[in-house]
Amino acid sequence: MIKHLRIDNRLIHGQVAVTWMNFIGADKIIVCNDKVAADPIQKMALPMAARGNTVYVFTVEETINYAKEHTDETMFVICKFPSDALQVLESGVEVQEVNVGN
């Protein structure tokens, strides 16, 4: 289940890696954006910014499929744009909270 979905074009930064993860109690962070998922440098760098937390960098479709297949996991999804978040929400995946950043 997606416990928390955040829209934030900065993706992972210190506040997300430390404060939000502790507050939410998620098992992992999923960065959700098609262009970011296609960029090997961002796929390598984003997990390093998460300070030891498990991070997946997925396309929107991969995020939806993962959430549907792993309903027993607690996920914190960060979408780069509102359009990414809207696709996730319209997919029927269970999302407990939505937060719009910056």
Q: What residues act catalytically?
A: 13
Give the side-chain half-sphere CA count within 13 A for 5. Answer: 25
Token look-up 């995020």 returns: 63
